[in-house]
Chains A and B, each alone.
Chain A
Amino acid sequence: MPEAETMVKVFARPTSLNEKHFTYCPGCDHGLITRLVAGAIDKLGVQERTVFIAPVGCAVFAYEWFRCDGIQASHGRAAAVATGLKRANPDLVVISYQGDGDLAAIGTAETIHAANRGEAITVIFVNNQIYGMTGGQMAPTTLPGQRATSCPEGRDVATMGHPLPVAEMIATLAAPAYVTRQSLHDPRHVAQAAKAIEKALRYQVEGKGYSLVEILATCPTGWRMPPAVAHQHVADVVTGAFPLGDLVDRG
């Protein structure tokens, strides 16, 4: 038997993802996260029920890449837009994909109140500790001492505050079904993050309510680091400031 006929496809583009090119910088984790979200949509078979909400920030084009209905939210308001979609049509599967500036600075109120109401939505929170789209300014999650274009001497916690612990804050609330923090710095953590995203989406489909998956992501461009160094930085430094793991699981 010819060798070609014995080959089995073990890895493919998720069907929820179309073939358009990502607009992310080389080495950025957004592309990987986008792929993991699409994989979870495929696994749960909800592509035809899903509405994907893109934020303002580097992921502003994210709706372009999914074979799902999409909507673009104004800066920080994705959780409110998600609430409106889900309340108007509870059969929809609503995914809100947001960065740290969007979710944890300008959109803090919407984030906390949607979580506190237990809206049956899935929030993917990409925490890369910087405003990437606008050129590398300080984010609410920027680490103490970390340099950014708007804190060139490094974040001084005495005047600029501390990194906002979003997952821990949301975990104090009574309503959320699943709150977790994940990382992508090595294949084992990527696999764990994939499972976490799938669980968060499954809880929505099963009617268990609100989920937030915080993902520690790299921004090689904004951090001025090669991608491999950036992932090592996540392993060595960022996970120290933002501990990994499940904080709430009411499944």
Chain B
Amino acid sequence: MAERQLMTGNEAMAEAAIRAGLRAYFGYPITPQNEVLEYMAAHLPQAGGAFLQAESEVAAINMCYGAAAAGVRAMTSSSSPGVSLKMEGISYLAGADLPCVILNAARGGPGLGNIAPAQGDYFQATKGGGHGDYRLIVLAPSTGQEAAELAGLAFDLSDRYRVPALILADGMLGQMMEPVTLPPPRDPGTLPPKPWALTGAKGREPNLIASFALEPTVLREINVKRYARYREIEAREVRWEEVATEDAEVLLIAYGTMGRIAKTVVRRGRERGVKVGLLRPITLWPFPYAPIRTLAERVKAILTVELSAGQMWEDVRLAVEGRTATPFYGELGGVVPTPSDILQEVLRYA
């Protein structure tokens, strides 16, 4: 029984998380994600979940660590500076193989930056912003509808692989109101069991959640096993969208808010007879290297467009490996380019 509602991206992600069986949310105020915190305050307790405004982002992510260890679906949300504060805790989640969903409504940076949409947190999200060898599953929605869908998917993937999942959004996606068809609520009791969870050692041996192994060969073994799961994720969970790529001569690559704007660029370009297409990564990790490599064989140029100085661009160039030209167009500081700005760039390579 799907319901269509008008809501902001932040609300859509919050409601979708609750419907996915979220039972513990911990957050701290920071713009532009306050609506998530406020939505959880108003709605999560009614759904039988625990809501708490933490004393800091550091505390919030560690509360998630505790709740995830207890076996419930746990989530926190923040924006760039706050996500930086969570990074130690995220490394511990990864090291303890705990599922958890982290939402980053990213903003202009570095430092306090501003509250405008930006994509300068790509490296932090996809390359391991915390310490140690680990990965996060990183999902990048570009519309309110997709944000709701990916919020549910984030919990499923995180539980399945015991890998924390990060939703990389921004204030534009979070604040914009759109019609959203929400998924039906799920009963947490119907989710796959978590025999590793800390529920009290009744009728079984004690369970332990830790990321600590002093003996190097032991820690190596733990990390090797985790990397086997990462390889499985890379093989099975890459998601992307292609728009007008069949005959494209110039291929745009953009994600999230920029991916949405790039769709308009493709439409306007095509109206003018420009053979432009778009590949929009939906999972930033695992990254869609293979489809980009395939398209690199037949396009004249792959233009990466980001709200950064060129972070995803590095992954695009790793995928292309010199098969075609790889120009870049980016804006900094929370400035969002218009479709016309980008189309001008496309015309340079068409």
B281 to chain A, nearest CB (A): 31
Q: Which chain A residue has the least Cβ–Cβ distance from B212? A: A72
Chain B interface residue count: which class?
A: 35 or more
A47 to chain B, nearest CB (A): 7
Chain A residues within 8 Å of chain B by Cβ, number: 33
User: Do A70 and B200 touch (CB < 8 A)?
Assistant: no
CA distance A73 to B55 in the complex (A): 17
Q: Which chain A residue has the least Cβ–Cβ distance from B51? A: A87
User: Do B200 and A77 touch (CB < 8 A)?
Assistant: no
> B residues 197-250 with Cβ under 8 Å of A?
198-203, 206-212
User: Do A85 and B70 touch (CB < 8 A)?
Assistant: yes
Let me know if B62 is at the binding interface, CB within 8 A: yes
Residues from chain A with a CB closer than 8 A to the CB of B23 are 88
Given A84-B67, A109-B56, A113-B55, decide whether A77 and B209 contact each other with a Cβ distance below 8 A. no
B311 to chain A, nearest CB (A): 27
User: Do A84 and B70 touch (CB < 8 A)?
Assistant: yes
Let me know if A19 is at the binding interface, CB within 8 A: no
Residues from chain A with a CB closer than 8 A to the CB of B96 are 71-72
**Which of B26, B55, B211 has the most chain A CB within a 10 Å cutoff?**
B55
User: Do A84 and B200 touch (CB < 8 A)?
Assistant: no
Q: Which chain A residue has the least Cβ–Cβ distance from B63? A: A84
Residues from chain A with a CB closer than 8 A to the CB of B209 are 70-72
Residues from chain B with a CB closer than 8 A to the CB of A88 are 23-24, 50, 66-67, 70-72, 74
Let me know if A89 is at the binding interface, CB within 8 A: yes
**Which of B50, B63, B92, B209 has the most chain A CB within a 10 Å cutoff?**
B63
**Which of A63, A68, A72, A88 has the most chain B CB within a 10 Å cutoff?**
A88
Residues from chain A with a CB closer than 8 A to the CB of B27 are none
User: Do A51 and B52 touch (CB < 8 A)?
Assistant: no
> B residues 45-79 with Cβ under 8 Å of A?
50, 52, 54-56, 58-60, 62-72, 74
Chain B residues engaging chain A, CB cutoff 8 angstroms = 23-24, 26, 50, 52, 54-56, 58-60, 62-72, 74, 88-89, 92, 96, 198-203, 206-212
Closest 4 CB pairs of A and B: A84-B66, A80-B62, A84-B63, A88-B67
